[in-house]
Amino acid sequence: MADYQVILSRRADNMLITHTEFLARVSPSAARKLLSDFRRTKRILEVAPLQYPFADELDAQGIPPETYRKCLFDDRYKALYLVDGNMVYIDAILDCRRDNKNLF
């Protein structure tokens, strides 16, 4: 049973779609794996979102420390999210191989 409700922002949803579409052009099986791993990650966040570390690398962008957490999945993607009470808000899905400066 889920203890937390996970909400995917429109922006994060668009990022996930973009990553999936790109992978699907190269390897449909890699795109399916990305989505499968994301669904698994979302289920984990519904139960234990506080197990993942804070995304302290966002300090350089003016985000206060201990605001966003990060969860790595599918070997190269990262979900950035906030926990507020029993709500988990996923605000970004990033490809860790890219320069992700100036996100916010």
Q: What span, in angstroms and rounded, lies between the C-alpha atoms of 67 and 55?
A: 8
Cβ contact 65:53 at 8 Å: no
> In degrees rounded to 5, what are phi and psi of residue 24?
-60, -30
Residue-level pLDDT at 57: 78
How many angstroms separate the CA atoms of 52 and 64, rounded? 17
CA distance 13 to 2: 21
How do residues 3-35 score in pLDDT, each as one tens digit? Answer: 999 999 999 999 999 999 999 999 999 999 999
Which residues lie closer than 8 Å to 40 by C-beta, 6 or more apart?
Answer: 73
What's the pLDDT tens digit per position in 41-55?
Answer: 999 999 999 999 998
Classified by CATH at the fold level, domain 5-95 comes out as: YaeB-like fold (3.30.2310)
Strand segments (E) across 1-104: 5-8, 69-73, 77-84, 87-95
Would you list the domain boundaries of the chain?
Answer: 5-95
